[in-house]
Amino acid sequence: MDSTVLFLPELILIASILAIPAIYIATNNTKSYSICSNISLFVSLLVVILFWYSPEDVSFDKSSSSYVIYDHFVINDFSQLFKVIFLMSALAVSVISSSYFKEDEPHQAEYYVLLLSSSLGMLITASSNDFLTIFVGIEISAFSSYGLVAFRKTDDKSAEAGAKYLLIGAFSSALTLYGISLLYALTGSITFDGVNAFLTGIDNGVIEGDFNELVFISSLFIIAGLGFKIAVVPFHAWAPDVYEGAPTPVTTLLAAASKAMGFVALFKVFIFTLEPFSDEWRLVLGIIALVSMTIGNLAALSQKDIGRMLAYSSIAQAGYILIAFPALTQDAVSGAIAHTLVHAFMKGGAFIVVAGVGAAGLGYDIESFKGLAKRSQLLALSMTICLLSLVGLPPLAGFISKFLLFYGVLQVGVAGETWIIALVVAGVLNSALSLYYYLNVIRFMYLYDPEESSDVVFSTSIRYTSVLVILFIVIIIPLFYQDLYSLCEAAARDLFA
């Protein structure tokens, strides 16, 4: 069969990106855009899963486990796993958007186009096999996100957040690009395999010369550029403002999928490509991890706005995931992949509830969660589960993934590199610290009465999406965590190949 079929998920998204404007011309019914977007994301998701599990249908040679197209585009367990997560997040966002935005909200067609193209960029990033493709993927996604964040252009906060995000995003892209160009100048190759082969050559003395400083500088640039994308200290300052200002479904996309995309890029560049020069960047990433989990949690303690609080909590979570990079073993990386995936569920789930509360007109302060349990048991329960899972309380999914992460990293520490044990200990102490501000929200939901006794109606689609998220966090992932582990292990194996 033709190999274009491998692009099918991406092609479906492109088709509907083209279709929505056509629908816009044909009808003014805003529901039709969201239906088109939901269907295309769902079909795309189905295609990814289907081709992943029965590759023979697309003349996929499973024995070689990965399928590379002209050195630029790769399809393997790693890419498919993340594509599933991206599409699931985007689908959830698309579903809740239709109830978050009122019928008369202007520019809805553009919204769904941007949402789909942002997802398209993520899919391309997941499959990228060279620096150019990964850059294009990230930029497609980022440019769409700028538009999404500033979607409510009459709202000052939204516009401010959009401008901030655009400026910082452009700056970080420039830094990344500069780092990439240095590497290209040194190695003469743009593909990950080529750069990796060249660096391995230097490392083994096959190629003569001392390029340590050059690689160090270029890796610093790439860390800085991608650090903005995943929002780690000291590149995090935009996140709270953007998370607060953007419409909540967009924040959900940023927190769940965009962050994971940043990590995908980081995995591909550092775990695979720059692996031969790991001594140059391990310590840097270790320090960034330590600082961002600590500062993220400390800053979250005093937040009044739920979006900002969750943004700081995201910064801390990114810090946890980053500790796998200095450890640099397959177990540690599969733990990091697992936590990236589960983080998308937990953070996404939490923001879905925030969207529900916000859409019902209750506001976005932590105070607005007062007495939520009396208004909607389901949303309160869903929020509680997502937050407790973010803490890492057993037996929820967050515990499982955090356990796998710390497990993998500690293994390296016990084997001899003692400074890595410090990272793990800092991680668990930070988890305990984070309990305070998460519990605070839970306390507001359960222990206080609502401030107004008026009846509040929560949107049905948000409630159903919440149920699905709870199902994953409480039942599916903990029960089948052996399978989660094998999936992540297979993905990590692709990275190390």
Partner 1 sequence: MNSLRLVFSFIILLFLSGVSSAEEHTIYVGTEDNPYVFSDASLVISPGDNVTFIWTPGQPHNVAQVESSTSNLFVANGDIVFFYSGDPVDGATWVLNSSYTQDEGTLYYICEPHVGLQMRGQIVIESRPDMTMDFGSFPWLSYLLVFPVIGAIWCFAFRNNPEAHKYIALATTLFTLIISCIVFVRAGSGSGFRLMEEYEWAPNLGVSLLLGVDGISSPLVLLTGIIGPLTVMFSWHEKEKPALFFSLLMIMQTALYGVFITLDYFVFYIFWEVVLIPMFFLIAIWGGENRRYASIKFFIYTFTASVIMLVGFMALYFEAGVNSFSMIDIANNSSGFSREFQIWVFAALFIGFAVKIPSVPWHTWLPDAHVQAPTAGSILLAGVMLKMGLYGLMRAALPPLPIGAEVFVPLMVALAIISIIYGAVLSLGQTDLKKLVAYSSVSHMGVALLGVATMTELGFAGAVFMMFAHGILSPAMFMVAGVLLHQLGTREIPKLGGIAQSQPKTTGLFVVIFMGSLGVPGMAVFVSELSVFIAFFESHGYWLLLPIFGMVLTAGYHLWALQRAIFGELNENVDVEKVHEAPWYEMYPMFILIFIAAFFGIFPHYLMDPISVSSYDILDFMGVV
Give me the residues that bind partner 1 (CB under 8 A), please: 388, 391-395, 399, 403, 406-407, 410-411, 414-415, 424-425, 428-429, 431-432, 435-436, 439-440, 443, 446-447, 481-482, 485-486, 489
Shortest distance, position 455 Cβ to partner 1, whole Å: 20
Nearer to partner 1, 18 or 422 (CB): 422
- Return the amino acid letter for 259: K
- Which structure tokens are listed for 89? 């997040």
Q: Is 169 exposed, middle or buried (0-12, 13-18, 19+ CB in 10 A)?
A: buried
Shortest distance, position 441 Cβ to partner 1, whole Å: 12
Shortest distance, position 427 Cβ to partner 1, whole Å: 9
Q: Write the DSSP assignment of 371-389 as a string of letters.
A: THHHH-HHHHHHHHHHHHH
Strand partners, 128: 73
The torsion angles phi and psi of 457, rounded to 5 degrees, stand at -105, 125
The angle formed by the CA atoms of residues 317, 124 and 130, to the nearest 5 degrees, is 95
For residues 51 and 60, the answer to whether their CB atoms sit within 8 Å is: yes
Task: Please name the helix (run of DSSP H) or strand (run of DSSP E) that holds residue 75, with its range, or none.
Answer: strand 73-75
Residue with tokens 């190949």: 497
Shortest distance, position 447 Cβ to partner 1, whole Å: 6
- Which structure tokens are listed for 180? 């990439």
Nearer to partner 1, 8 or 439 (CB): 439
Shortest distance, position 352 Cβ to partner 1, whole Å: 22
Nearer to partner 1, 225 or 286 (CB): 286
Q: Among 356, 343, 355, 193, which Cα is nearest to 261's?
A: 343
Nearer to partner 1, 209 or 416 (CB): 416
Shortest distance, position 372 Cβ to partner 1, whole Å: 14
Distance separating alpha carbons of residues 427 and 318, to the nearest angstrom: 11
Q: Are strands 67-69 and 73-75 parallel, antiparallel or unpaired?
A: antiparallel
Nearer to partner 1, 238 or 485 (CB): 485
Nearer to partner 1, 363 or 395 (CB): 395
Nearer to partner 1, 277 or 481 (CB): 481
Residue with tokens 């011309």: 25
Shortest distance, position 124 Cβ to partner 1, whole Å: 32
- Which structure tokens are listed for 100? 């978050």
Strand partners, 68: 74
* DSSP 8-class letter at 76: S
Nearer to partner 1, 423 or 495 (CB): 423
Backbone conformation region of residue 305, classed left if phi is above 0, alpha if psi is from -120 to 50, else beta: beta
Shortest distance, position 348 Cβ to partner 1, whole Å: 22
Shortest distance, position 394 Cβ to partner 1, whole Å: 4
Q: What is the largest CA-CA distance in the chain?
A: 75
Nearer to partner 1, 42 or 446 (CB): 446
- Return the amino acid letter for 405: L
Q: Among 384, 341, 290, which Cα is nearest to 476's?
A: 341
Nearer to partner 1, 184 or 407 (CB): 407
Shortest distance, position 378 Cβ to partner 1, whole Å: 14
